[in-house]
Amino acid sequence: MSKELSKTRTGVSGLDEITGGGLPQGRPTLICGGPGSGKTLFGMEFLVRGARDFGENGVFMSFEERDTDLVQNFASLGFEIDGLIAAEKLAIDYVHIERSEILETGEFDLEGLFVRLGFAIDSVGAKRVVLDTIEALFSGIPNEGILRAELRRLFRWLKEKGVTTVITGEQGSGSLTRHGIEEYVSDCVILLDHRMIEQVATRRLRIVKYRGTSHGTNEYPFLIDEDGFSVLPITSLGLTHKADNERVPTGISRLDTMLGGKGYFRGSSILVTGTAGTGKSSLAAHLAKSTCERGERCLYLAFEESESQIIRNMKSIGIDLQPYVEKELLLFHNVRPTVFGLEMHLVIMSKLVEKFSPSVVVIDPISNLISIGNQGEVKSILTRFVDSMKLKGITAFFTCLISGSKDVDETEVGVSSLMDTWISVQTIETNGERNRVLYVIKSRGMAHSNQVREFILSSKGVQLTDVYVGPAGVLTGSARIAQESRDRQAEREYRERIDGKKREFETRKLAAEAQIAQIRSAAGTGKGTGKFYRRGRRKKAVAERTADRSGSPEAC
C-alpha cells in the first residue's frame, strides 16, 4: 500500500533529506537520547513547524515539563507557542504524575490517558502528536505489566488514529531507552547523541532504523541554535558536481594573467599557502572586493582576526571593504576555532552559506582548525566542505599558514590535493630584507604561468612584477632594483659606445666620398690621354682600398 511509503515532513532542515522525506506518516517514531540531547526540542519543533508551515496541527503531551514552562522555554527559540495555542493549532497537555499520590487497588487501565489524548487531538484536529517523555509513566504507575500492555495498546491506537507521533525516550545504558519502549515502536527510531570530545560538545544524530525505506545510516552532526534544530547531511556527498567554465577574476590583474588571463574557475577551490606575513589574507581581500564589486556576495570566515581588524588592515593596502559590509554583500563570520568542535564548525559554516548564499566563500586560515582536531579530521571536514561548495557552484578560497621549516609543497592539514588552484606565497630573504614572491603551483584545467612573480603590497593593493632573471640569478626587492639600474647603466654605456662608433664611421664615409668626388672630377678634365687614364686607374684602386677599409662598398 502507498500508505507505507508516505512521509510527514518534519521541517527540520536536513532531516527530511536524510530520511528521504520525513517521518513515517501516521506512525510512531521514537526519538531517544541522553539528557540534554534535544529530544523535547525536536518534538516541539516538529509540532510548531507542522502547524506553521504544513498546516498540520499538533498535540504536545508533556510528562515532564509544565505547559507554562514549555511556552517560556521555547519562546527563547522564537517559537510562539502561546500564539499557536490561542489559534487552536497546538494543544499542550501536561500530565503530572506524583508517585506518592498513587496507590494500586485492583485492576485498571490507562483509559484516562487515552481519553485526554483523544480529547486534545480532537480539540485542534491534530495530525501530529508528541509524547515527551512517556517513560515517566514507569516511575508513576506501580504495575509495570499493565503499563507495558497499555503502552502497546496506546501505540496501536495512535496508528489507528492516523496521527504521526513522536515519542521521546531517555537513553539507557546498553539499550536505546531506559525501559525498552523501542520494542513497541518499530517503525522509526532516531538516536540523538551529545558527547564531549576534548572538552568540546558535539551533537550527532543517527537513524537507527526506519522500516520500509532507505535512509542515511551515518552519524550526522546537528546544531541547536536560535532557529531550532538543524541537521546537516554533509557526509553523504559524492563527486557529482558539474564543472563550470565561467571564470572569477582574482582582483589582481597580473594574477589573472598568470591564471590563463581570466582568473579562477567559478566553483573551484583555491588554496593559498605561505608562511606568516606573506600576504595570504591580502589575496583573500582582493578576491572579496572584486566579488562585491560585481554585486555578488562573499562570505568571509575568519578564524584569526575580528571583522574590524580585517577591515582596518586591508584599508592600509587600499582595499576598503566597509562599504560592502554595509551593502550586505560581504558577511564576516569571525570565531575562534576552539569555540566549537570541528563538526560544529562545518555545520555552522554550511548554515551560513545556506542563509547568505554567497558566490565566494573565504576561509582564513584553515591551518587554525588543526588546533581542535587531528589532521585526518580536519581533512575530512574540509573535504566535505569543499564538496558541498562545489555542488553549490560556490568558489571557495582557503588560506593556510605553513611553518617556515616545512617544505613549501606541504600543508599541515594535507588538503592540497583537494584544491583546484594552489598558489604559494613565499618570502625570500636576501641582503637583509624579505621579499615576497608568488608561484602558481597548480591550477587544474587552465594554462597557467610557471614563473615566479614578485609580490608587492603597496598602498594600492597587491601588485605583481616580474622578478629579475639574469646571469646573477633570480633577484627580488632592492637587489632587483639595484641590478636593474646597473643593467640600465650598462645598456646606456653600450648604446653610447655603439653610437660613437656609428658617428666615427659616418665621418670616415663622408671623407672617403669627398675624396672620390674629387678624383672623379679630376679624371673628367684629363679624359682621352693615356697618361691621365693610368693615373686615374691608380687613383681608383686607391679609392677601392679606402672603401674596403671603411666598409662601405657603395663608394665605388
Partner 1 sequence: MPGGRKGLLMSAIKTTTEIFEEAATREGSQRFVLSLFVAGLTPRSLKAIENAKELCEQYLKGRYELEIIDVYQQPELAREAQVIAAPTLVKHLPLPLQRFIGDLSDPEPILIRLAVKNES
**Sole binder of partner 1 in the list 109, 410, 504, 548 (CB under 8 A):** 109
**Binding range to partner 1, per CB under 8 A, among 114-122, 173-181, 198-206, 495-503:** 114-122
Q: Is 534 helix (H, G, I), strand (E, B) or coil?
A: helix
145 binds partner 1 (CB under 8 A): no
**Sole binder of partner 1 in the list 3, 4, 108, 492 (CB under 8 A):** 108
Nearer to partner 1, 121 or 189 (CB): 121
Are 43 and 166 in contact, with CB atoms under 8 Å apart?
Answer: yes
CB of 99 to partner 1, least distance (A): 8
**Binding range to partner 1, per CB under 8 A, among 28-36, 108-116, 169-177, 369-377:** 108-116
CB of 97 to partner 1, least distance (A): 7
CB of 111 to partner 1, least distance (A): 4
Considering only residues 348-367, where is the footprint of partner 1 by CB under 8 A? none
Nearer to partner 1, 138 or 356 (CB): 138
115 binds partner 1 (CB under 8 A): yes
User: What contacts 462, CB < 8 A, 6 or more positions away?
Assistant: 252, 255, 279, 282, 283, 286, 317, 455, 456
Q: What single-letter DSSP state applies at residue 113?
A: H
404 binds partner 1 (CB under 8 A): no
CB of 151 to partner 1, least distance (A): 12
Nearer to partner 1, 116 or 209 (CB): 116
112 binds partner 1 (CB under 8 A): yes
Are 131 and 168 in contact, with CB atoms under 8 Å apart?
Answer: yes
**Sole binder of partner 1 in the list 31, 131, 137, 389 (CB under 8 A):** 137
69 binds partner 1 (CB under 8 A): no
Nearer to partner 1, 142 or 162 (CB): 142
Best CA proximity match to 334, nearest among 379, 299, 372 = 299
Nearer to partner 1, 145 or 530 (CB): 145
**Sole binder of partner 1 in the list 141, 223, 285, 378 (CB under 8 A):** 141
**What is the gyration radius of the CA atoms in the chain, in angstroms?**
40
**Binding range to partner 1, per CB under 8 A, among 116-124, 410-418, 438-446, 505-513:** 116-124
Distances (CA, A) of 445 to 237, 417, 501: 23, 14, 53
Distances (CA, A) of 205 to 14, 117, 129: 11, 29, 21
**Sole binder of partner 1 in the list 119, 494, 505, 533 (CB under 8 A):** 119
Nearer to partner 1, 139 or 431 (CB): 139
**Binding range to partner 1, per CB under 8 A, among 5-13, 136-144, 231-239, 317-325:** 136-144
**Binding range to partner 1, per CB under 8 A, among 41-49, 135-143, 211-219, 228-236:** 135-143
- Rounded Cα distance, 227 and 53, in Å: 14
- Rounded Cα distance, 321 and 199, in Å: 36
CB of 114 to partner 1, least distance (A): 8
Size, binding site for partner 1 by CB under 8 A: 27
**Binding range to partner 1, per CB under 8 A, among 115-123, 162-170, 367-375, 474-482:** 115-123
Burial zone of 254 (CB within 10 Å; 0-12 exposed, 13-18 middle, 19+ buried):
middle
Best CA proximity match to 477, nearest among 450, 459, 457, 507 = 457
**Sole binder of partner 1 in the list 21, 118, 172, 461 (CB under 8 A):** 118
Residue for grid cell 552532526: 221
Q: How far apart are the first and last CA of the chain?
A: 113
Nearer to partner 1, 112 or 470 (CB): 112
Q: What single-letter DSSP state applies at residue 321?
A: -
Which residues are paired to 401 by β-bridges?
Answer: 274
**Binding range to partner 1, per CB under 8 A, among 137-145, 300-308, 480-488, 529-537:** 137-145
Are 58 and 131 in contact, with CB atoms under 8 Å apart?
Answer: no
Which residues are paired to 399 by β-bridges?
Answer: 272
Nearer to partner 1, 147 or 283 (CB): 147
- Rounded Cα distance, 455 and 457, in Å: 7
CB of 67 to partner 1, least distance (A): 11
Which residues are paired to 395 by β-bridges?
Answer: 360
The 3 state secondary structure assigned to 380-436 is HHHHHHHHHHHHHCCEEEEEEECCCCCCCCCCCCCCHHHCCEEEEEEEEEECCEEEE
CB of 122 to partner 1, least distance (A): 9
Nearer to partner 1, 108 or 494 (CB): 108
CB of 123 to partner 1, least distance (A): 9
Torsion angle defined by CA atoms of residues 235, 238, 244 and 247, in that order, rounded to the nearest 10 degrees: 40
Q: What single-letter DSSP state applies at residue 205?
A: E
Considering only residues 88-107, where is the footprint of partner 1 by CB under 8 A? 93, 95-107
**Sole binder of partner 1 in the list 113, 231, 347, 381 (CB under 8 A):** 113
Nearer to partner 1, 111 or 466 (CB): 111
- Rounded Cα distance, 52 and 87, in Å: 11
Contacts with partner 1 by CB under 8 A lie at 93, 95-113, 115-116, 118-119, 137, 140-141
